[in-house]
């Protein structure tokens, strides 16, 4: 008897849609993958909505509203396996910059009638609210890693997504180190691999869009950047980017906030 | 049996980017209320851009949208360059046009094949459509891929490219690195031509409207990054005059602000506006295909925007080929400049239409103030107006069919709701 296809759902919270677009950007693989699974809920791509429970949920975006805070629990309850995709879902995203400020000030800057806006004071990752089975990093995620994660799920094995740093990828590509050779600020040593070291390949420093690697020594890199003459405001900004609320990046950015720029 | 009172409700609009809902009330066979509700959570980009370095604007604003990040990067760098008093010309300017061609091809093709065409052919999505029309969907996917290949090559990756910089690029490629793209683009041009023919045969509801179209216009080229903002009803201004001519209103039921022309009201941006205002600047092949498709040199039915989008894909393939053929690697990847305080505004043509950015920076290049007005907020009122007009003409349709057609009327605009919710700096509050 033919095995029933696993039901997959794609969910969106606060985000730019880029990570779920990665699935549609799998131009060569999309129809093959679609043959193996039942796309049961994917509003960006389809009007069709099948009822849960879902075998696999892919969750994009961070939690920023009281409604979404409730909704993620419903998603978790209806999902056997839940994978978060991208920097928003795994670290709170760029919108987590509000976590360092007073959100009411943000609302009054942006909107004429702040009372219409219903938002939380923070932007938090999915794992702050419900248990997550696997986190895929990146702003945006790498589409081939997404295919790997879905394939691994279908074959009931662990996904192969290397935990090492962007530096290793960069060395494997044979790039000349932009930090050593040009003195360019680069987060490669502490950033999770997965992008194929594109920034150094395009003559610029890594800005950490894949978030912290496993056990990153951010303090050492922060000190070293300072010794090379990079000012605290600049070090703070580079750690406070698309993964600003990931604990190790957050801690390092705060360390440079405490210091005054003149020492 | 016909009901006199009806409600058309779509809780979560599908096949658009981001989260939105639709609510239409019909009383005594008259439309009494239309609300396009955008419930995408606000992300406050204008607020947290304050205090960031000017160099970060293209990377940060790209994150407003994963579908059209190049548009954000292009508007950001052009606005910053105005503030800094510099101009990027020659091959660097051409490369920016090439990058935009890539985004138009991938974004338009995504919309044509995966989001919009299934409506005309009666499928809920492109995967279902592929079961009966595999060759067509594969052609769409491959055409989209060519657009993504351009963005990846020039920009580093297809979503949130890394190579765009104030003053130019971080790295520029040698001419030979584009060789492989040339063959791909020749195939894409044929596929785009087929797309125009294919889409022009769809069954379009009769729905010509009298719109005010707004787009950039440039004396020498179909507009991407430069030009004056013009309309078919007399508007003709520079980008820095945008805020004197347009106003944004905060409406209670939506997280996106409604943009209107002051004293005139709603207007229409996007492919149809560009096409109607700049037909003469299209490539000969694009003009010819427009004529053969039956559209001719103007289009006032938003349901036919799928054909206009296809014509723009064809133009973008032609333009990309022209740029690659005449390209010579510049000596430097970006122009040199001194950081200075200033204010700069710029508009570029995102796939969905006019995208406005304005920044104020201090003498160290720190952003003091940012304002961004994306195309979807500009079209919101026009989308609602369309529904006010469309629904009364189709009250005989069964509920499910009418609901679907209303969704389709919204998808005509390829609305990008993620773009539309972050909005503006508002110190101009009205009484």
Distance from CA of B229 to the nearest CA of A (A): 25
| Distance separating alpha carbons of residues B143 and B104, to the nearest angstrom | 11
Q: How far apart are CA B174 and CA B327, in angstroms?
A: 9
- Structural domain spans, chain A: 7-155, 166-256
B46 inside 8 A of chain A by CB: yes
Alpha helix positions (H), B88-216: 90-109, 117-121, 126-132, 134-155, 179-200
The pLDDT of residue B431 is 29
- Give the whole-angstrom CA distance, residue B219 versus residue A5: 56
Mean per-residue pLDDT of chain A: 92
Question: Which residue in this structure is represented by tokens 């204010």?
Answer: B343
Question: What stretches in chain B show pLDDT beneath 50?
Answer: 1, 423-431
pLDDT higher than threshold 70 for residue A260: no
> Annotated binding site for Ni(2+): which residue ranges of B?
65, 68, 416
List of chain A residues whose C-beta atoms are within 8 Å of the C-beta of residue B114: 24, 45
User: Which of A12, A105, A110 lies nearest to residue B426, judging by beta carbons?
Assistant: A110
Contact state of A237 with B56 under an 8 Å Cβ cutoff? yes
pLDDT at A214: 92
Angstroms from A207 CA to nearest CA on chain B: 9
Task: Take residue A129 and report the two structure tokens written for it.
Answer: 């609210």
The token pair that represents B199 in the structure block = 């889409």
Q: How far apart are alpha carbons B133 and B123 in whole angstroms? A: 11
Per-residue confidence band for A113, with pLDDT thresholds at 50, 70 and 90: low
Given an 8 Å threshold on Cβ–Cβ distance, is A45 in contact with B114?
A: yes
Q: Is the pLDDT of residue A261 over 60?
A: no
Residues B19, B123: Cα–Cα separation, whole Å: 21
Extents of the domains making up chain B? 45-412
Q: How many angstroms separate the CA of residue B279 from the nearest CA in chain A?
A: 30
How far apart CA A130 and CA A74 sit, in angstroms, is: 10
Contact B217, B210 (CB under 8 A): no
pLDDT of residue B44: 86
Is the model's pLDDT at A164 over the cut of 90? Answer: yes
Per-residue pLDDT tens digits for A68-100: 999 999 999 999 999 999 999 999 999 999 999
Q: What is the pLDDT of residue B111?
A: 97
- In angstroms, what separates the C-alpha of B291 from chain A's closest C-alpha? 31
Q: Does domain A7-155 have CATH number 3.40.50.700?
A: yes
Please list every residue in chain B whose beta carbon sits closer than 8 Å to the beta carbon of residue A16. 63-66, 69, 418
Q: Which two tokens stand for residue A17?
A: 């849609």
**What is residue B426's predicted lDDT score, i.e. its pLDDT?**
32
Fold for B45-412, please state it: Cytochrome-c3 Hydrogenase; chain B (1.10.645)
Residues listed for chain B: 431
pTM of the full predicted structure? 0.95
Sequence-separated (6 or more) residues with CB below 8 Å from residue B278: B215, B217, B222, B223
Q: Assess B407–A contact: CB distance below 8 Å, yes or no.
A: yes
Q: According to the model, what pLDDT value does residue A27 have? A: 94
| C-beta atoms of A14 and B43 within 8 A | yes
Do the Cβ atoms of B418 and A15 come within 8 Å?
yes
Q: Do B14 and A209 lie within an 8 Å CB cutoff?
A: no
Tell me the C-alpha distance between A98 and B41, whole Å.
13
* Record: contact A43-B59, CB cut-off 8 A: no
Two tokens, residue B10: 């779509």
Percent of chain A with pLDDT over 90: 87
């Amino acid at each position: 008897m033919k095995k029933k296809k696993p039901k997959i759902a794609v969910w969106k919270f606060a985000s730019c849609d880029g990570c779920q677009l990665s699935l549609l950007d799998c131009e060569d693989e999309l129809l093959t993958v679609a043959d193996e699974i039942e796309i049961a809920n994917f509003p960006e791509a389809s009007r069709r909505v099948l009822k849960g429970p879902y075998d696999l949920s892919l969750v994009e975006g961070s939690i920023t509203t009281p409604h979404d805070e409730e909704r993620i629990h419903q998603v978790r309850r209806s999902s056997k396996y839940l994978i978060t995709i991208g920097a928003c879902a795994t670290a709170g995203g760029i919108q987590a910059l509000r976590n360092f400020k007073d959100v009411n000030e943000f609302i009054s800057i942006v909107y004429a009638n702040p009372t219409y806006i219903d938002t939380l004071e923070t932007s938090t990752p999915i794992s702050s609210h419900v248990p997550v089975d696997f986190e895929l990093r990146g702003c945006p995620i790498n589409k081939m890693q997404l295919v790997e994660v879905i394939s691994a799920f279908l074959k009931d094995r662990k996904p192969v997504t290397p935990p090492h740093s962007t530096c290793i990828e960069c060395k494997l590509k044979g790039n000349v180190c932009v930090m050593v050779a040009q003195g360019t600020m680069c987060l490669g040593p502490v950033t999770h691999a997965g992008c194929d070291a594109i920034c150094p390949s395009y003559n610029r420093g890594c800005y950490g869009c894949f978030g912290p690697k496993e056990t990153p020594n951010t303090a050492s890199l922060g000190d070293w950047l300072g010794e090379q003459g990079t000012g605290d405001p600049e070090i703070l900004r580079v750690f406070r980017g698309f993964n600003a609320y990931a604990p190790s990046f957050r801690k390092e950015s705060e360390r440079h906030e405490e210091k005054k720029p003149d020492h | 049996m016909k009901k006199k009172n009806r409600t058309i409700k779509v809780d979560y609009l599908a096949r658009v980017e981001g989260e939105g809902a639709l609510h239409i009330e019909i009383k005594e066979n008259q439309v009494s209320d239309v609300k396009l509700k955008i419930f995408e959570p606000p992300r406050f980009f204008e607020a947290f851009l304050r205090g960031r370095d000017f160099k970060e604007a293209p990377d940060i604003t790209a994150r407003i949208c994963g579908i059209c990040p190049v548009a954000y990067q292009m508007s950001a760098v052009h606005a910053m360059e105005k503030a800094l008093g510099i101009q990027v010309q020659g091959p660097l300017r051409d490369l920016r046009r090439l990058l935009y061609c890539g985004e138009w091809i991938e974004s338009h093709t995504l919309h044509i094949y995966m989001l919009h065409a299934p409506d005309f052919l009666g499928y809920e999505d492109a995967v279902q459509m592929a079961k009966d029309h595999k060759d067509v969907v594969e052609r769409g996917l491959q055409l989209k891929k060519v657009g993504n290949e351009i963005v990846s090559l020039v920009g580093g990756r297809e979503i949130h490219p890394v190579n765009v910089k104030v003053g130019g690029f971080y790295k520029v490629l040698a001419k030979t690195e584009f060789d492989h793209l040339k063959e791909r683009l020749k195939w894409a041009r044929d596929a785009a031509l087929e797309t125009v023919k294919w889409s022009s045969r769809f069954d379009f509801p009769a729905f010509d409207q009298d719109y005010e179209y707004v787009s950039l216009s440039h004396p020498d080229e179909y507009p991407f990054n430069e030009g004056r903002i013009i309309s078919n009803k007399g508007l003709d201004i520079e980008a820095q005059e945008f805020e004197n001519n347009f106003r944004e209103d905060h409406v209670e039921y939506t997280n996106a602000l409604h943009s209107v022309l002051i004293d005139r009201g709603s207007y229409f941006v996007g492919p149809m506006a560009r096409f109607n205002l700049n037909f003469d600047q299209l490539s000969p092949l694009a003009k010819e295909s427009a004529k053969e498709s039956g559209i001719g040199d103007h289009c006032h039915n938003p349901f036919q925007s799928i054909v206009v989008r296809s014509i723009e894909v064809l133009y973008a393939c032609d333009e990309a080929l022209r740029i690659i053929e005449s390209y010579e690697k510049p000596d430097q990847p970006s122009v040199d400049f001194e950081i200075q305080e200033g204010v700069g505004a710029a508009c570029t043509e995102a796939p969905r239409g006019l995208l406005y950015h304005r920044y104020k920076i201090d003498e160290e290049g720190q952003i003091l103030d940012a304002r961004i007005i994306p195309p979807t907020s500009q079209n919101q009122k026009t989308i609602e107006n369309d529904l006010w007009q469309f629904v009364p003409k189709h009250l005989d349709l069964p509920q499910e069919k009418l609901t679907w057609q209303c969704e389709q009327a919204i998808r005509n605009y390829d609305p990008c709701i993620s773009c539309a919710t972050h909005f503006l700096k508002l110190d101009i509050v009205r009484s």
